[in-house]
Amino acid sequence: MFTQDDHGELKERGISVEEVKRQLEYFRSGIPYLPIAKPATIGDGILKPQEETLRDFIHLYESESLKEKVIKFVPASGAATRMFRDLYAYMDEGSGSKALEDFISGLKRFAFYDDLKSCIEKSGMDTESLIQAGDYDPIFKFLLGREGLNYGNLPKGLVAFHQYDGHYRTAFEEHLLEGINYSRGKDDNVRIHLTVSPEHKDAFENKTHEVVKNLRMQYHHDFSVTFSIQKPSTDTIAVDCDNNPFRDRNGKLVFRPGGHGALLENLDDLDAGIIFIKNIDNVAPDHLKAETLKYKKALGGMLLSFRERIFHYLNILTGDGEINGGFMEEVMTFLSDELCLVPPWGHDQWDYEQKRSYLVSRLDRPLRICGMVRNQGEPGGGPFWVKNSDCSVSLQIVESSQVKLSNPLMKKLFDASTHFNPVDLVCSVKDFRGNKYDLHKFRDPDTGFISHKSFEGREIKALELPGLWNGAMANWNTVFVEVPLITFTPVKTVNDLLRAEHSAV
């Protein structure tokens, strides 16, 4: 099946033949759907702490996080191109749309307007005259092209998002400012790690040099900003319609990026006691940051609280002392009532060693606290109770592609979800002895996704790895917490920047 050249290609990418064969088997046999049991809701899988409890968690985080190494992990490899798809459609086809009208009518409200206007005027044209004449092509050319702001070739993180008095901030800068408030650890160092595309790494590093010096002087904190790229070893092989390895016109195997699940490798490389995860486009301007910061610290405090209890239980369960039945029941209740893991049927018949072994295996895992917002019809995953292969039931974030929606019962359960995953996570990835977990051991490899694409005019199938907060964390201990909708302010299209939450006061 594979030639000598193929073996060389695989070796260069860091992909084993066994891994490629495993991927090919998924194409041939299909990826099984997740058997969801029910949606997680308030009081049934989702916590909604009272204000007093939130304050306690915030206080805990503010005091204890100073003893920790804290990192904010931001997936930032997305290009800005998708933000401007309606503008590109107009340039390619000349067709108007409601989105195009909204963009033009709101042009002066964008944070990048002054820079765009300056580029247009330097060319000898006038922005207002172009708008009145309905001649939008020059505007879009200077916005997206290399002769202007070049937004069509930049990462989303380097697009101007918010306007302040006399200056603007990119999404990247907003993450830095936000991180000052909760991603500082014991050495008073604000740490942020971004995963970026290779072609954008230099631009991010240049922006870092530009802004960090001023931030250090203004806030008297040090900043440690690091970058990594998606590893070639996480690419997946493409196949043809017969599920055979697809080859390009030169006979070379074709590989495709494995989706955001590939970033498990980047996350696994980090060495920190507390890791916050948030997408690059989910930032708010200063006047709305307070609520976001409040809940970030509260989620961090919950992580520390849960982690302390888990470590306490594990130290006793793995120690040499005598353990009575009452303690075992206490831990089992914590597991089922607070970590929301329903043990397999018949567990009440287990002997002492079976119970102890089961509790250790279930507690000794990475931990994540996941903020969840009320479902407002946004596309994406949500919180569910899922049946596991050992007949237990646990909490997972589930995407629609993981559910057999052609099954009326599964569709009914999925549609009944009340909450949405905004990618607002805080994680602990070290065990009770202080050793880093191997995160690969806790993912569910059977939760990827097969899609149909086109390559060189031919149809291919592509495989996405288990999503970072879906299958890649399927076997983590998970706690869902409701957070306010105002903490979720994503920018998927450029017109999202016209929403009230992104506008100046």
- Burial pattern 4-27, b for ≥16 Cβ within 10 A else e, equals eebeeebeebebeeeebeebbebb
Mean pLDDT to the nearest integer, 404-431: 96
- The answer on pLDDT for 380 being more than 80 is no
Tell me the C-alpha distance between 160 and 151, whole Å: 9
Q: Average the pLDDT over each of 177-186, 432-441, 480-489 and give the range with the smallest value.
A: 177-186
- Which pLDDT score, from 0 to 100, does residue 329 have? 92
Helix (H) or strand (E) holding 336: none
- Where do the domains of the chain lie, and which CATH numbers do they carry? 4-79+163-492 (3.90.550), 82-153 (no CATH)
Mean pLDDT to the nearest integer, 228-239: 94
Q: Are 281 and 171 in contact (CB under 8 A)?
A: yes
78 confidence band (pLDDT: 50, 70, 90): confident
Number of Cβ atoms within 10 Å of the Cβ of 463: 21
Helix axes 352-363, 325-333, angle to 10 degrees: 40
Mean pLDDT to the nearest integer, 338-350: 91
Mean pLDDT to the nearest integer, 167-179: 95
Tell me the C-alpha distance between 145 and 123, whole Å: 14
Tell me the C-alpha distance between 389 and 395, whole Å: 14
Q: Is the dihedral of CA 82, 84, 85, 88 positive or negative?
A: negative
Mean pLDDT to the nearest integer, 317-341: 92
Mean pLDDT to the nearest integer, 415-433: 96
- The answer on pLDDT for 184 being more than 80 is yes
Q: Give whichever of 30-34, 53-57, 134-138, 231-235 has the largest mean pLDDT.
A: 53-57
94 confidence band (pLDDT: 50, 70, 90): confident
Question: Which among 77, 442, 450 is positioned nearest to 237, based on CA atoms?
Answer: 450
Mean pLDDT to the nearest integer, 91-95: 82
DSSP category for residue 438: -
Helix axes 289-317, 171-179, angle to 10 degrees: 60
- Which pLDDT score, from 0 to 100, does residue 504 have? 61
Report how far Cα 286 is from the mean position of its chain's Cα atoms.
22
Residue-wise pLDDT tens digits, 277-291: 999 999 999 999 999
DSSP category for residue 252: -
221 confidence band (pLDDT: 50, 70, 90): confident
Sole residue written with tokens 């804290």: 70
- Which pLDDT score, from 0 to 100, does residue 282 have? 96
Number of Cβ atoms within 10 Å of the Cβ of 386: 23
- The answer on pLDDT for 299 being more than 80 is yes
- The answer on pLDDT for 505 being more than 90 is no
Three-state SS letters, 193-233: EEEECHHHHHHHHHHHHHHHHHHHHHHCCEEEEEEEECCHH
Q: Are 360 and 402 in contact (CB under 8 A)?
A: no
Mean pLDDT to the nearest integer, 459-464: 94
Mean pLDDT to the nearest integer, 87-100: 87
The fraction of the chain above a pLDDT of 90, given in percent, is 83
Mean pLDDT to the nearest integer, 192-209: 96
- The answer on pLDDT for 93 being more than 90 is no
**Residue 184 CA: distances (Å) to CA of 56, 276, 331:** 19, 11, 33
Residue-wise pLDDT tens digits, 236-257: 999 999 999 999 999 999 999 9
Q: Is the pTM of this model over 0.75?
A: yes
CA angle (81 as vertex; 79, 82 as ends), nearest 5: 95
- The answer on pLDDT for 22 being more than 90 is yes
Sole residue written with tokens 């989620």: 299
Q: Are 300 and 368 in contact (CB under 8 A)?
A: no
- The answer on pLDDT for 79 being more than 90 is no
Which residues are CB-contacts of 478 (< 8 A; sequence separation ≥ 6)? 339, 340, 367, 368, 370, 394, 395, 396, 397
- The answer on pLDDT for 146 being more than 90 is yes
321 confidence band (pLDDT: 50, 70, 90): confident
160 confidence band (pLDDT: 50, 70, 90): very high
Mean pLDDT to the nearest integer, 169-174: 96
220 confidence band (pLDDT: 50, 70, 90): confident
Question: What mean pLDDT is reported for the chain?
Answer: 93
